[in-house]
Amino acid sequence: MVVLGAHGVRAGEAGRTKLKQGHYMNQYGTDYGASGHNGGSPEYATSGHIGGGSGYGGYSYTGYASRATSSTAAACGASHGGAPVVSFENVSKHYGRLRAVDGLTLDLRAGETVALLGPNGAGKSTSLDMLLALRKPTSGKIQMFGSDPYHAVKSGRVGAMLQSGGLMPEVTVRDLVTLVTTLHPRPEPVNTTLKRAGIDQFADQRVDRLSGGQTQRVRFALAICGKSELIVLDEPTAAMDVETRRLFWDSMKEEVAQGRTLLFATHYLEEADQAADRILVINRGRLLADGTPAEIKARAGAKRLSFRLDRVDEPFLLGLPGLVNLEIRRDVVQIQSSDSDATLYAVLDAGCRPREIEVSSLGLEQAFLAITAEDDATNGHANATNGHAHTGETN
Amino acid sequence: MAGTLALTKAELTRLIHNKRYFIFTVAFPVVLYLLIGRQVKQSAYHVAFGAYYMIAMSTLGAFSGALNGNAQRISQEKKEGWIRQLRLTPLPANAYVVTKVLVSLATTVPAIVIVLLLGRFYGNIHLPAWQWPVIAVTVWFGSTIFAALAVAIGYRFAPEQVQPVTLLLYFFFAILGGLWFPLGGALGNVGQFTPTYEAVKISTDVIQGVSVPPGLAVGLAVWLGIFTALATVVVRSTAETV
């Protein structure tokens, strides 16, 4: 429970977002409420994030908290005290009638590695563009290091790499990195940057004769050529093959180990899962979930429970604690659950004797799909992600 | 400022390797001057044709250099995202445009110097020593006004549109400004309001030894104001698409 308390610092923000998403509570509130797991822990009542009412958190947190937060609490706890590195306060960006970003509120703390996860057109790029002062929010306020984004970027405290960022042609890689390094108030040695970005092998080649993956690494070099405190990366591994991607994240971990804060946008769930200690799930410009990878998985019902049952009683199964999704085919029951233990115990407690019990983990992918699909369904946008893709990420 | 200079230096290094730039800015007016400069025996704008043509060709080289190359490059760099990349660095927001104008100021110098030297030693034009720098600076200033216009075009148009747009402006200001041949009549009346004409006429008036009408200098200043305002509006309005 001590661990949970530490987590409450961040949970406060999560609570704000969840409050807006009443549909979560409406849909599942009764199921979760019936489980009764919430009542026993006073910490939850005071910490506020569960009180915010999404209902799920109450006990999926109990399942995961000890494992999931012990590492992040240790890593972030020390730095949680100061002002946020980045804060979005009810930020919106509208293009005509389209809401690319719609009331986004979030804080980043020093030392965190945060993934901004969402499908194409979710508003990730627009959010990062606004953070980096490339676009102005229609409404709301963004702050970085306590100042407006433009001055924060110009102070050299932010290093950024965007998909749409281009390179000066007709010069060598080394010349380009040297040039951008010169622009920095606190530059890193050029050779160090070349090595870290893994581009020292082709430093004397011309920039316009590189492959896509090499170009991407040069962009990365430009993002880390100064001693920045925050690094912002938009789909950093988009043009990389598997091996390059692994190398990239290895070097990225070194940057983070120096105490830098990292924010990256991705639609690779695996990447968010492995690299980030916090994930912000964003869809159609809104923040849907905010937590550790484990919490995000838990949120959507991250375990699959299946068994055979002789007499299937559907109403009973629907009332099971932790149940997120139920599928019945003849005597085969498949349940997606946010707390597979509780679900299974309830089945057993009811006197059932299921056979061929299997409990398996759902990946972040299913969790993510569940969260966004649910959001789309609630808001009546069956194909919302497709319809959105054009304008949300145009640059 | 150090950043702006670093970027300017890098840009100039790039430019030295650019053949296209030399053909349009330097080679074209030089060849024209070699072909025509000594052939015509009449006078133009009350000075010897050779002297007029020397001034016209240096203006042509400088003004097309300021207009064509820069607009194309800016548009290309905008499309490729280099401008965007620079906005992510500590380089101040206006430094890119300032750099482009500085580079433009530098790139027009060779055309002017080479054509004036040709005029002196190939065209045998003899002027009082003080008139050379006055002419050079006038032509240079008159041409680099187009650096601001190039910024506006580069930000406003996609690379494939830049070529026709600059070509159109090139013909417009070259012909109406009397750079290819001295204009008279109705066209001449319209043309006397172009900055290219103003730059040439100030120079020929200096050579002729008459006092330069202040209207010409004011005209150049007004054009500078118009193009700068245009560039400012375009750069600001396209800020979110860069």
B158 touches chain A (CB under 8 A): no
The partner residue sitting opposite A165, judged by closest CB among B79, B88, B91, is: B88
What is the predicted pLDDT for the residue at A365? 67
What is the predicted pLDDT for the residue at A100? 93
Best of B12, B88, B100, B103 to substitute, by most chain A Cβ atoms within 10 angstroms, is B88
Per-residue model confidence as pLDDT tens digits over B54-72: 999 999 999 998 998 889 9
* Cα–Cα nearest to A335, from A346, A348, A345, A326: A326
Judged by CB atoms closer than 8 Å, whether chains meet at A185 and B90 is answered as yes
- Provide, as residue numbers in chain B, all residues whose Cβ is less than 8 Å from the Cβ of A171: 10, 13-14
ipTM value, please give it.
0.86
> Dihedrals φ, ψ of B177, to 5°?
-80, -5
Judged by CB atoms closer than 8 Å, whether chains meet at B88 and A164 is answered as no
Per-residue model confidence as pLDDT tens digits over B71-115: 999 999 999 999 999 999 999 988 999 999 999 888 899 999 999
B92 touches chain A (CB under 8 A): yes
- Residues in Cβ contact with A16 at an 8 Å cutoff, skipping those fewer than 6 apart: A52, A105
Calpha distance B67→A392 (Å, rounded): 35
For residue A255, CA distances in Å to A223, A224, A251, A252, A269 come to 11, 8, 7, 5, 21
Look up residue B109 and give its two tokens.
Answer: 């110098």
- Cβ atoms within 10 Å, residue A234: 25
Closest Cα in chain A, distance from residue B222 (Å): 32
**Cβ atoms of residues A156 and A184 within 8 Å:** yes
Number of H helices and number of E strands within chain A? 16, 13
**Cβ atoms of residues A145 and A155 within 8 Å:** yes
Closest Cα in chain A, distance from residue B81 (Å): 4
Nearest CA in chain B to A152: B90
What is the predicted pLDDT for the residue at A102? 93
The partner residue sitting opposite A164, judged by closest CB among B14, B81, B93, is: B81
- Provide, as residue numbers in chain A, all residues whose Cβ is less than 8 Å from the Cβ of B241: 395
Best of A178, A182, A220 to substitute, by most chain B Cβ atoms within 10 angstroms, is A182
A389 three-class SS: helix
Q: Give pTM, 2 decimals.
A: 0.74
Stretches where chain B sits below pLDDT 70 are: none
Look up residue B137 and give its two tokens.
Answer: 């600076």
Strand A261-266, strand A230-234: pairing: parallel
What is the predicted pLDDT for the residue at A302? 65
**Cβ atoms of residues A306 and A358 within 8 Å:** yes
B6 touches chain A (CB under 8 A): yes
What is the predicted pLDDT for the residue at A184? 94
What is the CATH topology of the domain spanning A83-296?
Rossmann fold (3.40.50)
> Dihedrals φ, ψ of A172, to 5°?
-80, 160
Judged by CB atoms closer than 8 Å, whether chains meet at A166 and B92 is answered as no
Quick one: CATH architecture of A303-361?
2-Layer Sandwich (3.30)
How do the pLDDT tens digits run along chain A, 395 residues long? 333 333 333 333 333 333 333 333 333 333 333 333 333 333 333 333 333 333 333 333 333 333 333 333 333 334 445 689 999 999 999 998 899 999 999 999 999 999 999 888 889 999 999 999 999 999 999 999 999 999 999 999 999 999 888 899 889 999 999 999 999 999 999 999 999 888 999 999 999 999 888 898 999 999 999 999 999 999 888 877 888 888 888 888 888 888 899 999 988 877 888 889 999 999 889 998 899 988 887 776 567 889 998 888 888 888 888 888 888 888 899 888 878 888 899 999 988 889 999 988 776 666 777 777 777 767 665 443 333 333 333 33
What is the predicted pLDDT for the residue at A56? 34
Judged by CB atoms closer than 8 Å, whether chains meet at A219 and B85 is answered as yes
Domain boundaries, chain A: 2-80, 83-296, 303-361
What is the predicted pLDDT for the residue at A32? 35
